[in-house]
Amino acid sequence: MRIVALVPGGIGDQILFFPTLDDLKRYYPNAEVDVVVEPRSKAAYRVCKSVDEVLTFDYKDRNSLADWGNLVGTIRDREYDVAMALGQSWLVGILLWLTGIPRRIGYKSKGDYLLTNPVPLKTEQYAACMYHDLLQGLGINSPCPELTIYVPKADIDWANKEQQRLGIKETGYILIHGGSSKLAKTKGLDKIYPVENWVQIIQELRQKLPEMPIVVIQGPEDEEFVHKLKESVPEIKLISPDDIGKLAAMIGGANLMLCTDSAPMHTSVAVQTYTLALFGPTDPAKLLPKSDKFIAIKSPTGKMADISPKIVLEKILGG
């Protein structure tokens, strides 16, 4: 059997889709499973063992009919038996129908008459479970498994060396991801917690937990955030993992992950690190599984800036 999944969205969306892919391989161990993802998300599959090939297509670009036609042609040439798509637009049904794939799975919507196996869309649940519901189109009705990822040994070795370099191998550490994403800024998404609030939290943690190092993740888009942070707290430690495997390995070694709604948050859930995540307008119940290990702090106003550092510190320190 050959299966293709169309999975738009960022790296976080891909990680949330991993349980669906893992169950596909569990029920059909000999199947070839491919995904079509946006170029920015291809890197997520470094930590997924349930996919044979990753194809790229920028769903959100201003694609011409020729671009969509090329995608249809690419999929048709591979002669898949099953296709599933996360999109809910009527265009999804047309796209899958044009591929000629005999079994087409997607969510029930106004355009689902072109799907052979539509499934109910239950948006009120944890997103990984919502994605996993697509397997009902194959007669699979098992509960959604937990998020898991595969971290390559080379990335674990890199993390061990980083922990030794920073002097945190024996002490443990609190890891912070500030979520200063250019995409969030460009789209006007309220996912960024103010630097001055982070400074207040870090300074208080250093006072109350002087033996616990604090490490900040510096991604390619975080230079301004980190520069401002170091102006106020010059002694913070920094890591700059250049792929998701190294990031996952560093998160896996942390005592606590403190972050915003982001791909690193989902990575932290997947490696089972205690996680405290800050949410603005988004609903935590849809993005974090129910567990005492994964705690959400939701803004009382829906604005990230209105989350009080005092509330965050109380959650961490148990006050």
Q: Render 217-233 in DSSP notation, one character per residue.
A: E--TT-HHHHHHHHHH-
Cα distances from 77 to residues 38, 73, 100, in angstroms, run 20, 6, 10
pLDDT band at 53 (very low <50, low <70, confident <90, very high): very high
The average pLDDT across 183-208 equals 85
Residue with tokens 């955030």: 225
What's the pLDDT tens digit per position in 58-116? 988 788 888 889 999 999 999 999 999 998 777 788 888 999 999 999 999 876 888 99
CB 113 within 8 A of CB 33: no
pLDDT tens-digit map of 256-275:
999 999 999 999 999 999 99
pLDDT tier, 164 (very low <50, low <70, confident <90, very high otherwise): very high
- % helix, strand, coil for the chain, step of 5: 45, 15, 40
The CB-side HSE value for 141 (13 A sphere, CA atoms) comes to 3
Q: What number of other Cβ atoms are within 10 A of residue 181's Cβ?
A: 20
Q: Which domains does the chain have, with CATH numbers?
A: 2-138 (3.40.50.2000), 153-317 (3.40.50.2000)
Which residues sit opposite 295 in a β-bridge?
276
